[in-house]
Amino acid sequence: MDIVLSLNAVLDRINYSTFEGELGVRSITGVASLSDAQRGDATFITSAKYLEDLKKTEASLVVLGKDLEIKPKPGQLFLRVENPSIEIAKLCELISQKMWDKPKPGIHRLANIDPAAEIHPSASINAFVTIAEGARVGPGCVIGSGCYIGPACEVGTDCQLAANVSLERDTVLGNRVRIHAGTVIGSDGFGYEFEGGRHRKVPQVGSVRVGDDVEIGANTTVDRGRFGPTRIGEGSKIDNLVQIGHNVVVGKHCILCAQVGIAGSTILGDYVVMGGRAGASGHVEIGSGAQLAGQCVAYSDLEGGAKYGGAPAIPLVSYQRITVVTRRLPELFKRLTQLEKHLLHD
């Protein structure tokens, strides 16, 4: 990284309780893992099991917990904090601001903007962006190259759309929404009725509503509702390659990991976590605070505040016990066969 941060800037950003070691460390030039860090880098440690790695690291600044019993080497500065992972994230935010300069406001000459669209003067519209009639883009927004913003779409304040994001008609984004490359918001819901030997398309005339501070990963799709809106609650974070069906309601501050699939009209409460490749069949409700392990599938309603695993979803502890027994099935089958032979012989 070609980044130089003064020590004062780092100390202003990180919420540390005490510091130990080399006050001669005056600047930080990057962030790296314990094993990869070189002189000038900052790193962090969250667990005592990495103490041996800490002893070997060349990092100049280490962010670590208050309870780890280790002293800095010559040329190192330790910052003792409550949560090292959060504090190093703050430092990464500072570095990110240095690495990625915000584009200047204005509309690129190769953008295609309908005269009836409203673009705030402080927004930045890059090349090959298409913005349709009646769409509105708010203050401070950055719209990446190749994006499409359809009719009657609304993009709030300080939103960031990476390259080739598509917002289909009537999609509304709140403030500070971040959407990564290739994502499609507001595509048709998957609705068909079988009639006369054919699958007859059911028009999807609803919309999508995305709350404030939502982040949506690359190549994710959020379908519009059949009638009313599909909703993504404020603060929710959605990973890459996630499919959210029509009329789904995702609550506030949910986490949906890669390849999660949620079928139509499913309702997620607040603070729901779904691990990679987890899913939900249509028309089910998952209560607030529920956590679904990877590849877990909800075929029926799940109570909030509990952990689940398996397909269909069952309490995680039960699923883990079943998994242990399943792994022993070949051995148990062999013992059962031997026992049968012994009994028959007798």
Q: pLDDT per residue over 229-283, tens digit each?
A: 999 999 999 999 999 999 999 999 999 999 999 999 999 999 999 999 999 999 9
315 lies in some domain: yes
Among 51, 72, 99, the domain boundary falls at: 99
Q: In this predicted structure, what is the pLDDT of residue 101? A: 62
pTM above 0.75, yes or no: yes
Pair (204, 299) in one structural domain = yes
The SS3 of residue 13 is helix
Q: In this predicted structure, what is the pLDDT of residue 58? A: 93
The contacts of residue 280 (CB under 8 Å, 6+ apart) are 261, 262, 263, 266, 268, 274, 286, 297, 298
The SS3 of residue 165 is coil
Q: In this predicted structure, what is the pLDDT of residue 19? A: 85
CATH number at residue 183: 2.160.10.10
133 lies in some domain: no
283 lies in some domain: yes
CATH number at residue 76: 3.40.1390.10
Number of domains into which the chain is organized: 2
The SS3 of residue 96 is helix
Pair (173, 311) in one structural domain = yes
Among 79, 99, 119, the domain boundary falls at: 99
Active site residues: 246
Residue 111: name the closest of 132, 122, 125 by CA. 125
255 lies in some domain: yes
> How many whole angstroms from its chain centre is CA 195?
40
124 lies in some domain: no
Q: In this predicted structure, what is the pLDDT of residue 69? A: 87
Q: In this predicted structure, what is the pLDDT of residue 7? A: 87
339 lies in some domain: no
Q: What are phi and psi of 176, to 5 degrees?
A: 60, 30
Give the pLDDT confidence of 115-153 residue by residue, as tens digits. Answer: 999 999 999 999 999 999 999 999 999 999 999 999 999
Domain that holds residue 271: 168-320
Cα gap 67→296, rounded to integer Å:
36
Q: In this predicted structure, what is the pLDDT of residue 102? A: 73
106 lies in some domain: no
Q: In this predicted structure, what is the pLDDT of residue 26? A: 85
203 lies in some domain: yes
The SS3 of residue 167 is strand
Pair (95, 172) in one structural domain = no
Q: In this predicted structure, what is the pLDDT of residue 25? A: 78
Among 70, 99, 128, the domain boundary falls at: 99
Q: Which residues of the chain have pLDDT under 70?
A: 1-2, 23, 100-101, 346
Q: 255 - beta bridge partners?
A: 237, 273
